[in-house]
Structure 1
Amino acid sequence: MQIYDDRTDLRIVPAGAKQRALLGALVGKAGQVVPSDRLVDELWGEQPPANAANALQAHVARLRRLLPVTVGPGKRRHEWLVTRPTGYVLRLNGIETDAQRFARMVAEGRALIPVGPAGAADVLREALALWRGAALEGSGRGAICSAEASMLEESKLVAMEALYDACLRAGRGEEITGELEELTIAHPLRERFYELLVTALHRCGRQAEALITYERARHRLRHDLGIAPGPALRGRMEAILHGREGADAEADPVGGAPYAHDDTDVRMLRDEIASLRRRVERLSQEQRDLGGRLDRLMAQEAPSL
């Protein structure tokens, strides 16, 4: 959590944890009055000091001194942090926070997807480049900062989903398979990433891997949540198996023609998957046999008592 003054290239990072928590809460609620009692809870939780009101005022005063001096029309000094009868309000005076800029750029990128997916992907990547770590990192775990951080992290994931959708529509499936593989590992219960990865692999001609990815998703969802894949992921897999990939994914990114698979293609894919499964089972059995032989050897070589 930091303040950046682009006029002077000055970066200001509040030194203490309480100062960072106060700044994070006020930025998250910018333009709104944040009640003093909520700020006390944000900074001290269930163990506030005896003089909590005075302690909060002291932290507000320190934060005011950190904020850059700006002069508005009529040479009037802009007051960033304003005291109100019930609390405090941070006034941005038209300046965007990174979170606001991110939201604006994501909205612009998503609006572009239907008409210009390549341009949309570029805008969305630029928006995601604004992230330099976890949301509100270092701002504590108070209710305001925690809720705001959760919303920001979710908006980041939604933006990533939009980015990879745009890449697929622009014929860039091969560029994103590695990134999507990592995301399915980092977020193993988020079906949309599996759906995008299955589509990207299929479009790259890696049908067997696409089916294996679906099986991985199905197993993880069943094991962790006790549910089957949702209709979107299941429908995409069925469409791939039957040669009809869906309305948003009909065009071949290379030739521009729709994908078309006959029954022979589907049978070949299923045979390949079955063969891969048999190989995995055989390797697992060989590993178990090897473990058993090693246990017996160790038992034979162990000194008798």
Structure 2
Amino acid sequence: MEFRILGPVQVFDERTGVPIVPSGAKQRALLGALVVKADQAVSADRLVDELWGEHPPGNAANALQAHVARLRRLLPAPPAAGQAPHEWLVTRAPGYVLRLGPAGTDARTFHRLTAEGRGLAPTDPGRSADVLRRALALWRGPALEGSGRGTICSVEASLLEESRLVALESLYTACLGAGRAGEITGELEELTTAHPLRERFHELLMTALYRCGRQAEALWAYDRAHRRLVRDLGVEPGPLLRGRMEAIRHDPEPAPFHPTDPPAGPSGPSAPSAGDDDGPSVRLLRAELADLRRHIERLTREQRDLTDRLEALTATHAATP
């Protein structure tokens, strides 16, 4: 059994190959929230908030119990050979807990594969790219699609979407390191269209175009990103994007990229030569690493702040008569 939230919520039974899909929005919200908090007790009050928000029914406790009972019937526990059946959804004060037991979740698999892929990037960018594509292939649509707008599901969906975008950035960085620039320009064009304010995608597209010998298109991609940032946010491109533009502009006739060429470093138009520690490529690499560290630190802080705020609000709500 695998509980899936990278798309519409469902449970996949590997024995039959048939997904189990909750039929109603409340059932999807309940299952989604329990999967997000798998192996943790979720209070009944918090689940009521997740399903009904500010407009719970008069008999909210009974209505929640009915949805839990329906979900239990949807998840029959097949007995293992010589063992008692595994009960997925159990009552535990002050609410309920989904016990994964022998099952897993696609979100946990995604996080495991992305960590593995990033770890491979410095030594084997080609394999890193392959692992990251496997991770991203787990997505079937927006995370927790159709699970309502409760706090648990909506916060987790936002965090998972950011993780997906960061994984895409890591994927295309690895592809550049593996000398696959020609394979990814189309995909990056689509990403810059879908996420026009995400500078990292523009920078990766510029690098890929440059390495394919398409310098003019790389500079045009910068101009397009510049116009969009100024128009929509009123800001100039950041140092990483500007630095990439300057590095490309200062090489008027880049050699076309060929698959047989040695792969260049993952963050600059050309790899720095020995003794070029202060060259533009090294400066860009340092800027990129610093940018990624700040990005990860910001995500960690935001996740911690959101969790603390949610726990505080939940405690306040529970204490309110």
TM-score w.r.t. length of structure 2: 0.75
Structure 1 pair 176–257 and aligned structure 2 pair: CA distance change class (3 A): closer
Partner of 1:34: 42
Larger Rg: 1
Given the alignment of the two structures, is residue 256 of structure 1 paired with residue 251 of structure 2, yes or no? no
Partner of 1:207: 215
1:218 partner amino acid: H
Task: Determine which of 82, 104, 129 is the counterpart of 2:137.
Answer: 129
For the Cα contact (< 8 Å) 1:5–1:68, is it kept in 2?
no
Deviation readout 1:212-234 (Å, 9 max, x if unpaired)? 11111111111111111111111
For the Cα contact (< 8 Å) 1:170–1:253, is it kept in 2?
no
Give the C-alpha shift of residue 94 in structure 1. 4.1
Larger deviation, residues 20-29 vs 68-77: 68-77
Tell me, in whole angstroms, the C-alpha distance in 1 between the residues paired with 2:175 and 2:114. Answer: 15
Please tell me the root mean square deviation across aligned C-alpha atoms, in Å.
Answer: 2.0
Deviation readout 1:40-72 (Å, 9 max, x if unpaired)? 011111111100001001100110111131435
Tell me the number of residue pairs that the alignment of Structure 1 and Structure 2 aligns: 254
For the Cα contact (< 8 Å) 2:143–2:160, is it kept in 1?
yes
Task: Determine which of 242, 260, 273 is the counterpart of 1:234.
Answer: 242
Give the C-alpha shift of residue 241 in structure 1. 2.2
Deviation readout 1:218-259 (Å, 9 max, x if unpaired)? 111111111111111111211222349xxxxxx986432875
More helix by share: 1
Tell me, in whole angstroms, the C-alpha distance in 2 between the residues paired with 1:230 and 1:254. Answer: 33
Tell me, in whole angstroms, the C-alpha distance in 1 between the residues paired with 2:181 and 2:20. Answer: 41
1:229 partner amino acid: P
Which runs of structure 1 show a deviation greater than 6 angstroms over 4 or more consecutive aligned residues? none
What does 1:259-274 correspond to in 2, within 5 Å?
259=270
Listed as ranges, the gaps of 5+ residues in structure 1 are: 245-250, 261-305
- The answer to which structure, 1 or 2, has the higher relative contact order (CA under 8 A, 6+ apart) is 2
Partner of 1:177: 185
Task: Determine which of 53, 78, 84 is the counterpart of 2:86.
Answer: 78
2:232 match: secondary structure: helix
Partner of 1:50: 58
1:76 match: secondary structure: coil
For the Cα contact (< 8 Å) 1:113–1:166, is it kept in 2?
yes
For the Cα contact (< 8 Å) 2:179–2:262, is it kept in 1?
no
Partner of 1:289: none
Give the C-alpha shift of residue 9 in structure 1. 2.2
Given the alignment of the two structures, is residue 198 of structure 1 paired with residue 234 of structure 2, yes or no? no
1:131 match: secondary structure: coil
1:4 match: secondary structure: strand
2:204 partner amino acid: L
